[in-house]
Each structure stands twice: as C-alpha cells, then as structure tokens.
Amino acid sequence: MNKCYVESEHYFSEKNFNSSIDTIKDTFYETAELTDPPCSKCAAFFRSTITASLENIHVEIEKMASCFFGDKRYQPSCIKAAEVLNEFKKFELYKSFKTNESNERFIGNYSKKKG
C-alpha cells in the first residue's frame, strides 16, 4: 500500500493527475480489505491520510484549472478528484453505519435492555 501511495505522489509531481487519482483510489480500497481488529484501526487511519492527500490534490488541481491563467485541460481531473472524494466519504459513512448497526443488534444489548 505504501508503494501505491508513493506512486500516486510520483504521478502527481509529473502532472499525470488521472493516474495519481486512480492509484490513490486503489490504495484506499486496498485498506478496506483489512478488517481484522489489529489491522482495522491502522487501515482506518491510513484511509484518512489517503483522503487528506486526495483533498490536497483536488485543491492543487482546482487552483491550476480555475485561476486567471488557468489551464482548462485540468478541469476533468478536478471533477474526477471531487467524485472520488465523495466516493470515499460515502464509503466511510457506510462503514460507520454498518459498524453501529451491528453493535445495536448484538443479542447481549437486547437482553440488557429487556432486563
């Protein structure tokens, strides 16, 4: 995963923004596969780091695309970065909802409420 993260940074420095976004997206979803307790917390932290990096990429591309002398060829990459950020946020919301739901449905919680 770290290799993919570094690869994304390399693509960004070369202004190959779509490849950078694709690589960082792949890295994000690789961390989602780490669901066991010792790894899940580190994976969640790494996803937040990845999300922050993509937010920075989006801001930089947005600056290049929208300033007075901005290059409109960066606009599609800017839109793509925004879409992937929204995808990340939906994933995290779904994941947190799924976690909360499973805790509420635990039979021990139900029996404590009844008694």
The residues spanned by each domain of the chain are 2-114
Cβ contacts of 76 within 8 Å, gap of 6 or more: 18
pTM score, whole prediction? 0.74
Higher pLDDT, 34 or 99: 34
Q: What letter would DSSP give residue 35?
A: -
- Residue 82's closest CA among 113, 61, 112? 61
Q: 88 pLDDT exceeds 90?
A: yes
Tokens of 18: 């779509």
Q: What letter would DSSP give residue 72?
A: G
Phi-psi region of 34 (alpha: psi -120 to 50; beta: other; left: phi over 0): beta
